[in-house]
Amino acid sequence: MIKSFAPTKFVGAVLFLTEPIAGILAPMPSPSPASILKETFGYDTFRPLQNEVIENVLARKDSLAVMPTGGGKSLCYQIPALMFEGLTVVI
């Protein structure tokens, strides 16, 4: 048997706004790749070619990065993944 439940008093509500409403809320500034590098990964600067690869990925360009072991390839997809909304698939 299913019973319906109707609360007798209002307990509260939460509203999450993701878009600005007619100038009431200013959009949140998007973090830069350099700030994510520092705040999330603790590095001050990119290794050679990392920034160029990240900028290409952020511009939604198909990208292939061939780098040596230890060259920092993983950050080239981790940082854009943190900046894009939703799910990021890396092949």
Question: Does the pLDDT at position 24 exceed 90?
Answer: no
> Mind listing the pLDDT tens digit for each residue in 40-49?
999 999 999 9
- Does pTM surpass 0.75? no
Q: DSSP for 50-79?
A: HHHHHHHHHTT--------TTS-HHHHHHH
Three-class SS state of 82: helix
Share of the chain above pLDDT 70, in %: 69
pLDDT recorded at residue 27 = 61
